[in-house]
Structure 1
């Protein structure tokens, strides 16, 4: 996995964006969207942390809907493991399943604006991309503050677990004392299925 400095060296800088910026971008957007990543952790804990970008997230099935919404303002690129592919065809052109993110920017001369994470979610059910045995009602993966949806921390920590970067460990330690017992049990159960040798299990 490329670190943020290497991503900047290869693909250019990222503009600093906040959840409020995402809310402005998604004004009148008809699809479901939410804030994931470090900003979701910060919103839950109330503790400020560094941010390299803003992770917006949508269901994978809504790629065409988002492209239609932003096409007059931002370019959309599909991203996966160091590969970038400009989405310049028809908005309903199928996106290969190997691409897990969309990167948005105004033009090639401008910094990247938003990293949009594509999640396997329908109107009713979210499924963990690394292990389809783990799922949850879509309405139960999100919470709302100031009209902005955020990913619940137990879902975000499950996504962060495989990386185990220093910032992931810090986010885990920040969230753990604040998790409800039921949410802690859910995270432990999910990790026992998907990541059974993970060191976090000893603390959960």
Structure 2
């Protein structure tokens, strides 16, 4: 990924889920941890190192999160390009990722993913025909940290099949309920026909 300024795209020192939740404690709008950290929160233990932390917010609630993360400088991340987003500017409609940069520390802290669903419904950004009630899409840890449930996280990971995605899938499968297996299998059949993971479900 290139940048519009002399900024090291690899200079990550990501917050933990606990630190992210602490910084968002006053935000009443829905949000949740996504990606590999979401799977670890679901499993109740950290299973591997994470170079970043992703969390999702709804597009209409972005201003509330920007206020909560006021000390961070935001950059749009799209098509391999990082571009600074001024504090008074809205991200372009096609942008779904905002990287949060800690200016004082000189590093990235979090990857904020912009959702196009609603407060009551989660919608898959790559195919809006895949959706479910938000109550079925988001779980919460005993400490109150919201996370995207495993079937959805694995649906996103199915596209790339990176080594860490394969490892995440292998660890998650034995813990999935029958309903979660069935849901993920159906989503894979729709979004990725013939996907190898379907056979393990």
How high is the TM-score relative to the length of structure 1?
A: 0.88
1:150 matched residue in structure 2? 147
Q: CA deviation at 1:43?
A: 1.8
1:37 matched residue in structure 2? 35
CA distance, structure 1, for counterparts of residue 18 and residue 59 of structure 2: 22
Report how many aligned residue pairs link the two structures. Answer: 194
Q: CA deviation at 1:68?
A: 2.4
- 1:128 matches 2:127: no
Q: Which moved more, 1:142-151 or 1:98-107?
A: 98-107
CA distance, structure 2, for counterparts of residue 153 and residue 12 of structure 1: 27
Question: What SS does structure 1 have at the residue aligned with 2:116?
Answer: strand
2:4 matched residue in structure 1? none
Q: Which runs of 4+ in 1 moved over 4 A?
A: none
What is the aligned-residue RMSD (CA, Å)? 1.8
Question: What SS does structure 1 have at the residue aligned with 2:95?
Answer: coil
Q: CA deviation at 1:164?
A: 0.5
1:60 matched residue in structure 2? 59
Deviations 1:150-196 (A, max 9, x none): 11001100011100001001111101010000111000011111111
1:181 matched residue in structure 2? 178
Ranges in structure 1 where 5+ consecutive residues have no aligned partner: 3-8
For the 8 Å contact 2:96–2:114, the answer to whether it is kept is yes
CA distance, structure 2, for counterparts of residue 141 and residue 155 of structure 1: 7
1:6 matched residue in structure 2? none
CA distance, structure 2, for counterparts of residue 20 and residue 47 of structure 1: 12
Question: What SS does structure 2 have at the residue aligned with 1:190?
Answer: helix
CA distance, structure 2, for counterparts of residue 175 and residue 56 of structure 1: 19
- 1:75 matches 2:73: yes
